[in-house]
Amino acid sequence: MVNLKINNIPVSVPEGTTILEAARIAHIEIPTLCYLKDVACVGSCRMCLVEATGARGLVAACVYPVSEGMEVKTNTEKCRKSRKLSLELLLSKHKKECLACERAGNCELQRLSTEYGCDPNFFTGEELNHPLDESAPYVVRDRDKCINCNRCVAACKKQSVGAIGPIGRGYGVHVGSAFEMSLMESVCVGCGQCIVACPVGALKERTTVDEVWDAIGDPAKKVVFFTAPSVRATLGEAFGLPVGTNVEGKMVAAIRRLGNVEVYNMDITADLTILEEANELIARIQNGGTMPMFTSCCPGWVKFVEQKYPEFIPNLSTCKSPQEMFGGLLKTYYCEKNGIDPKDLFVVSVIPCTAKKYECHRPEMNGEVNAAITTRELARMIKTAGITFNTLPDEQFDDPFATCSGGGTIFGATGGVMEAALRVAAKTLDGTFEVVDFPEVRGTTPIKEATYNVAGHEIRVAVASGLGNAAEILEGIKNGTRHYDFVEIMACPGGCVNGGGQPTLPDSYRNTLELKSLRAEALYASDRENTIRRSSESPVIETIYNEYFGTPNSEKAHEVLHTHYHEDKRI
């Protein structure tokens, strides 16, 4: 342990701790812009400069280690002047359109500039008029708002994607894709981790909110919403509620108040995915199919395979994601049952992920989902409609797509798809198998492995979240050091609860709270409270198969619920 003082407050921390980490233990917040826990730590923005004994001049607290007897001052006049100067220099190259910015009121640069009393025009920089990169259907990039903190670059690198990076040197350095190509031309997989890492408004989702409002206002359209499992665990954050608050009931009530719409539960098609996927796995095991089988419910992960590891495309489950299964289900079974022309049904999915926006545009999906909006976009719609979210009563999803299993709910957390599939596969292979909890695949550990013996079959499984960890698993399978039967991958670290479309929280939250764990616990708590734990025991799923699909993996099921993938060659 190392003993030091920070602003005269004694602190004892383990050797190797940085000044920034030690200050938090003393309940002192040192400002940062380029630092983001578990993502970026380079000390380049110079906002965290402090005075420390034994150091020459000011030092960057995020990278400078503590030493025995050190005395640190974080709020001296020298520190404050240095930070203000850094902020005003950043503002000289920043498009100051705060009133119309997506991040207005939730921007780290805006907050710090206000706190330090900055003059936004103290320095005059170049005229900013670079065009927006709106080439992709999921992310918009505004170079004129970028402050070159490189947090987005670090997030993309951690994902083993590398779609963006610093270009040029000196004053002209900026973030972009190789050869100044657009995001759509690059190797971007649309995961959106760059968006939630960005401290300003330089990156945002490609919004489809206007199309949704137009549909709600069109008397010729029937509008239905359905919400992904993880949204209930994160939407409350946009309205000031504690991280990990389950707002399912208020979420349903709020959407219902947007207009004449129906609100369905995407957990239903998470259950449907499990029935199809578990039976596909059993068929592959029994019939010598391509192994290991990979989950395919994450479109960012699917695109990653198509671009970087096309040799593994046959290993992907042919199941569509729950989003696309719901779109297909609504445009076929639901429309036929209710005498609705599919052209008159406007389907809106509420998702935690920007890659789902890209998925809607895949030609294989036939445009079955008309608009995919993120958790952030839904929050903006609720605020625009003047709905006082926190005072709403709890309301239930609309029938016939309301009742789901706990297995469908935990889809939003890393390991949830695997656990839900194991519950069904084990029961199918061994009718006496009653276990529903598989703790070995839970938690935010980047890679989890387990082996289960069911009805004489040894099933070796692996779970990974974050594409960097996915790459590690794929390389291990290629070189023969890893052996599995079933693998779950989610593109975003921690799974959908940490998706690129989730609320953007201040650095003070992201750097001190375990967001992934708190959000996931809300889903697992809902699972524990549900009397239906297996997807195969959902009465809604039973009705859908009895009335339309017959059996899992039937010809009709393959026509509506399954798809195919193909190699996507990029630079």
Amino acid letter for position 173: V
Q: Are residues 417 and 489 in the same domain?
A: yes
446 and 545 assigned to the same domain? yes
Q: What is the CATH number of the domain that holds 127?
A: 3.30.70.20
Pick the closest to residue 356 from 563, 132, 139, 39 (CA basis): 139
The answer to whether residues 422 and 330 belong to one domain is: yes
Sites in the chain below the pLDDT cut of 70: 570-571
121 vs 113: CA distance, rounded Å: 12
For residue 482, being part of any structural domain is answered with yes
pLDDT digits (tens, 9 = 90+) for 82-126: 999 999 999 999 999 999 999 999 999 999 999 999 999 999 888
In DSSP notation, 312-338 reads: GGGGB--BPPHHHHHHHHIIIIIHHHH
Same domain, 195 and 217: no
Considering the domain architecture, whether residues 26 and 96 belong to the same structural domain is answered as no
Cα–Cα distance, 292 to 364 (Å, whole number):
24
C-alpha 569/C-alpha 571 separation (Å) is: 7
Amino acid, single-letter form, for residue 288: G
Judge whether 2 and 17 are in contact, CB under 8 Å.
yes
**Using alpha carbons only, how large is the chain's radius of gyration in Å?**
25
Instruction: Name the packing angle between helices 209-216 and 375-384 (round to 10°).
Output: 50
Q: Do 251 and 398 meet the contact criterion of CB atoms below 8 Å apart?
A: no
Determine, yes or no, domain membership for 571: no
**Which phi and psi (to 5°) does residue 135 adopt?**
-70, -30
121 and 62 inside one domain? no
Q: How far apart are CA 253 and CA 241, in angstroms?
A: 16
Check which CATH number belongs to the domain holding 458 and give it: 3.40.50.1780
Token output for 349 = 């999915």
Distance, CA of 288 to CA of 277 (rounded, Å)? 16
Which residues are part of the catalytic machinery? 277, 280, 297, 317, 356, 359, 364, 496
pLDDT of residue 128: 85
363 and 321 within one domain: yes
Range of the domain at 187: 91-202
Query: Which residues, 6+ apart, have CB-to-CB distance to 271 below 8 Å?
Result: 404, 405, 407, 408, 420, 535, 538, 540, 541
In this structure, is residue 82 part of a structural domain?
A: no
Separation of alpha carbons 176 and 565, rounded Å: 28
**Last-in-domain residue among 184, 202, 220:** 202
DSSP 77-112: HHHHHHHHHHHHHHHTTS---GGG-TTTTS-HHHHH
Please report whether residue 178 resides in a domain. yes
User: Which of these, 387, 365, 352, 257, lies nearest to 321 by C-alpha position?
Assistant: 365
On whether both 187 and 222 belong to a single domain, the answer is: no
- Main-chain phi, psi angles of 257, to 5 degrees: -85, 0
Q: Is residue 30 part of a domain?
A: yes
Same domain, 530 and 412: yes
In a domain, 242, yes or no: yes
Rounded to two decimals, what is the model's pTM?
A: 0.95
Residue where one domain finishes, among candidates 202, 234, 263: 202
Residues 334 and 388 in one domain: yes
pLDDT computed for residue 241 by the predictor: 97
> Are 333 and 417 contained in the same domain?
yes
d(CA 409, CA 266): 9
| CB of 205 closer than 8 Å to CB of 378 | no
Q: Are residues 352 and 432 in the same domain?
A: yes
Q: Are strands 486-490 and 293-294 parallel, antiparallel or unpaired?
A: parallel
In a domain, 84, yes or no: no
The confidence score (pLDDT) of residue 571 equals 53
Q: What is the CB-side half-sphere exposure of residue 526 using CA atoms within 13 A?
A: 29
Q: Which helix (H) or strand (E) holds 462?
A: strand 457-465
14 alpha-carbon distance from chain centroid: 33
What CATH number is attached to the domain comprising 71? Answer: 3.10.20.740
3-state per-residue secondary structure call for 247-277: CHHHHHHHHHCCCCEEEEECHHHHHHHHHHH
Q: Is residue 81 part of a domain?
A: no
- Give residue 507's pLDDT: 87
pLDDT at 399: 94
Number of domains in the chain: 3
Q: Which domain-ending residue is among 178, 202, 226? A: 202
